[in-house]
């Protein structure tokens, strides 16, 4: 039986529409996850919700314990995960409040605990991340966005930076040359850790600002907040539809 988790990012530390049943703190060999897992119901379907940055949004992207988060989901039997992300838009189509379902990642992070293979397990594997996102979840998100009538960009390359600072304009030029269409700080190692534990995982990103150097007015935090607020309702419609159509 599929068990679905939603990892909430910036602006999504709780989920309106989620009926909360109970909270569970799961201890893992890697430490504590960002906050207790919330067991609840979305659109009549049991889901687990985890706020990546903690309940009060206090854990910056480079200090998120990604291993504890993914291990905790795995320990309670999660099979499928939808990860939400607030990102900057690099390419011209990735305007403020666009919803993007990325299909690729370039990882620019460093120094993060990025694997469960830390020399203590019997054997390690070179996991295949040719397609970093699980088609089972990505396709469900795409179908859900269609059905919910939410405009979206059906693919994209998510460049993951270390943060917590934003990028320089030259870094964004380089990332665009590399092929990145959006930029955020949390897609890795979360995505590959989920693959290591066999969790089907995909991302639903909302563009909350134009990336550095891409807008004449620069990046404004009040605009980011407004764009988060403006996107959350659409993201929630996609999620409600995605979970209700079920996963296999």
Residues that bind ligand HPA (CB under 6 A): 86-88, 161, 166-167, 183-185, 208-209, 211
* Composition of the chain by helix, strand, coil, percent to 5: 30, 25, 45
- Taking the complex as a whole, the smallest distance from the CB of residue 156 to ligand HPA amounts, in Å, to 14
DSSP string, 45-71: EEEEEEETTTTTT-S-GGG--HHHHHH
When CB distances to ligand HPA are compared, the closest residue is 88
State the Cα angle at 116 between 110 and 122, rounded to 5°.
135
- Taking the complex as a whole, the smallest distance from the CB of residue 212 to ligand HPA amounts, in Å, to 6
- Taking the complex as a whole, the smallest distance from the CB of residue 81 to ligand HPA amounts, in Å, to 20
Measured CA to CA, the distance from residue 91 to residue 210 in angstroms comes to 9
- Quickly list H helices, the chain: 66-75, 135-148, 169-178, 187-196, 221-244
Give the nearer residue to ligand HPA in terms of CB position, either 167 or 241.
167
- Taking the complex as a whole, the smallest distance from the CB of residue 186 to ligand HPA amounts, in Å, to 8
Neighbours of 78 (CB within 10 A): 23
Give the nearer residue to ligand HPA in terms of CB position, either 78 or 185.
185
Measured CA to CA, the distance from residue 134 to residue 92 in angstroms comes to 26
Give the nearer residue to ligand HPA in terms of CB position, either 53 or 74.
53
- Taking the complex as a whole, the smallest distance from the CB of residue 208 to ligand HPA amounts, in Å, to 5
Contact 89, 102 (CB under 8 A): no
Give the nearer residue to ligand HPA in terms of CB position, either 143 or 224.
224
Contact 43, 60 (CB under 8 A): no
Give the nearer residue to ligand HPA in terms of CB position, either 211 or 239.
211
The tokens describing 210, both together, are 């134009």
Give the nearer residue to ligand HPA in terms of CB position, either 132 or 184.
184
- Taking the complex as a whole, the smallest distance from the CB of residue 223 to ligand HPA amounts, in Å, to 11
Contact 201, 133 (CB under 8 A): yes
């Amino acid at each position: 039986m599929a068990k679905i988790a939603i990892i909430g990012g910036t602006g999504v530390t709780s989920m309106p529409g989620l009926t909360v049943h109970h909270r569970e703190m799961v201890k893992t060999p890697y430490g504590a996850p960002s906050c207790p897992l919330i067991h609840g119901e979305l659109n009549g379907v049991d889901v687990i919700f985890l706020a990546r940055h903690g309940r009060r949004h206090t854990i910056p992207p480079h200090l998120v314990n990604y291993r504890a988060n993914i291990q905790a989901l795995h320990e309670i039997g999660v099979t499928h995960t939808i990860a939400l992300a607030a990102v900057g838009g690099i390419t011209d189509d990735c305007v403020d409040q666009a919803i993007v379902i990325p299909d690729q990642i370039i990882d620019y992070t460093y120094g993060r605990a990025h694997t469960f293979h830390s020399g203590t397990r019997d054997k390690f594997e070179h996991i295949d991340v040719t397609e970093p996102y699980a088609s089972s979840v990505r396709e469900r998100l795409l179908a859900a966005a269609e059905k919910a009538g939410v405009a979206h960009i059906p693919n994209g390359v998510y460049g993951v930076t270390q943060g917590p600072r934003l990028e320089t304009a030259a870094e964004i030029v380089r990332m665009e040359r590399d092929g990145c269409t959006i930029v955020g700080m949390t897609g890795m190692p979360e995505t590959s850790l989920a693959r290591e534990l066999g969790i089907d995982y995909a991302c639903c990103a909302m563009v909350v600002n134009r990336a550095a150097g891409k807008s004449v007015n620069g990046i404004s935090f009040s605009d980011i907040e407004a764009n988060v607020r403006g996107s959350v309702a659409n993201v929630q419609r996609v999620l409600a539809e995605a979970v209700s159509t079920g996963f296999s």
